[in-house]
């Protein structure tokens, strides 16, 4: 349920937007994520959560084969497929803005995590928002610091306007401010990202902190950070947040992630908090999955985030 402005509660309506990209990393197949998540039962799952759903279909994304991945202009630095990413993210941002203007909560289906640049830019276009980044990774690289050239390791830096991302208009940079960003579940961080996290106000919760304090406490704090003084927040759910034993269908798995019940409970906390403005689920790669279990888990988690309860 969401507030409709007059203090009454109304049924939430969700609009699905598919962003089938694989430009942002080098394991092919993540562009099939939106189909896998839909086949995993997303609209039924959301109906069980008590929300209305409409499906806007997928953005048209040209295949990466049409360009030499090693071809880069100087402004692209070491980032591969930056212009293609810009093209998709610009269109995705418009779709997300339109969805919000029409009164629907956008739920974006990736695609690799580079699409977050578009979804958050859209969600932040008309409001000051925070973000919770559920991820094994910090995604805080730039076209200079990137160890891989993969833009899926950079979206949070782009949205915060870090270094050369500052003022990048297709990222609406900065779309986010550091004091309203929380990263939850970190366990794989590059040196430059670590340095940035040490000196900045970004709230970063590692798996060790989760071990020590419990995920529920950490998520409670993360929700407060993201929502503090903001008009709602975006939830970015990278499926590699979860332990690879339950979410094997991702391109950059890292051992030691959150377990099944922890993940559900975190999403239940999101639903209960009520400040969710937009959401995305990214990095599901069906070619690396086992019987679509990662996509099905994404469906279950979305249902919890939108209010499905056990009782």
Ligand X SMILES: NC(=[NH2+])NCCC[C@H](N)C(=O)O
Q: What are the binding residues for Mn(2+)?
A: 113, 135, 137, 139, 238, 240
Spatial CB neighbours of 302, under 8 Å, sequence gap ≥ 6 = 42, 45, 46, 49, 107, 267, 279, 281
Under rule CB under 6 A, residue 163 binds ligand X: no
**For residues 240 and 280, which CB has a smaller minimum distance to Mn ion in the complex?**
240
| Residue 85 lies near ligand X (rule: CB under 6 A) | no
Asked if 190 interacts with ligand X (CB under 6 A), we say yes
Q: Which residues of 29-43 are buried (b: 16+ CB within 10 A; e: fewer)?
A: bbbbbbbbbbebbbe
* Residue 148 binding result from ligand X, Mn ion, none, given CB thresholds of 5 to 8 Å by partner type: ligand X
Q: Note if 58 is an active site residue.
A: no
84 an active-site residue?
no
Q: Does residue 137 have an active-site annotation? A: yes
Indicate whether 152 belongs to the interface with ligand X (CB under 6 A).
yes
Total of residues contacting Mn ion (CB under 5 A)? 7
Question: Tokens standing for 296?
Answer: 């099905």
234 binds Mn ion (CB under 5 A): no
* Structure token digits, residue 213: 């304090």
What are the CA-CA distances from residue 48 to residues 39, 302, 309 (Å)?
16, 11, 9
CB neighbourhood size of 113 (10 A): 32
Instruction: Quote the CA–CA distance of 176 and 156 in Å, as a whole number.
Output: 9
**Smallest distance, ligand X to C-beta of residue 63, A:** 21
Q: For residues 137-196, which are near Mn ion according to CB under 5 A? A: 137, 139
Helix, coil or strand: residue 158:
helix
**Among positions 35, 98, 148, 269, the unique one binding ligand X when judged by CB under 6 A:** 148
Q: Which of 31, 87, 135, 243 is catalytic?
A: 135
Catalytic positions: 113, 135, 137, 139, 152, 238, 240, 283
Interface residue list for Mn ion (CB under 5 A): 113, 135-137, 139, 238, 240
């Amino acid at each position: 349920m969401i507030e409709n402005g007059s203090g009454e509660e109304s049924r939430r309506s969700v609009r699905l937007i598919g962003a089938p990209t694989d430009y942002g990393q080098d394991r092919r197949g993540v562009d099939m994520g939106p189909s896998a998540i839909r086949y995993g039962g997303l609209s039924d799952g959301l109906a069980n959560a008590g929300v209305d759903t409409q499906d806007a279909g997928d953005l048209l994304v040209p295949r990466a084969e049409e360009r030499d991945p090693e071809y880069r202009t100087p402004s692209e630095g070491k980032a591969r497929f930056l212009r293609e990413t810009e093209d998709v993210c610009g269109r995705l941002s418009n779709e997300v803005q339109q969805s919000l203007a029409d009164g629907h909560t956008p739920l974006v289906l990736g695609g690799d995590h580079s699409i977050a640049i578009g979804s958050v830019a859209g969600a932040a276009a008309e409001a000051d928002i925070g973000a919770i980044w559920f991820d094994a990774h910090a995604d805080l690289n730039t076209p200079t610091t990137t160890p891989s050239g993969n833009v899926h390791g950079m979206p949070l830096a782009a949205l915060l306007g870090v270094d050369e991302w500052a003022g990048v208009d297709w990222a609406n940079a900065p779309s986010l401010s550091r004091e309203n960003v929380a990263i939850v579940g970190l366990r794989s961080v590059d040196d430059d990202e670590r340095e940035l996290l040490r000196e900045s106000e970004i709230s970063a919760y590692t798996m060790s902190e989760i071990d020590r304090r419990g995920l529920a406490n950490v998520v409670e704090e993360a929700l407060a950070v993201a929502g503090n003084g903001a008009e709602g927040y975006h939830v970015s759910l990278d499926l590699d947040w979860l332990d690879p034993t339950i979410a094997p269908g991702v391109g950059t798995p890292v051992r030691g992630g959150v377990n099944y019940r922890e993940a559900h409970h975190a999403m239940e906390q999101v639903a209960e908090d009520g400040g969710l403005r937009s959401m995305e689920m990214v990095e599901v790669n069906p070619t690396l999955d086992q019987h679509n279990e990662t996509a099905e888990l994404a469906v279950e988690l979305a249902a919890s985030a939108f209010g499905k309860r056990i009782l």
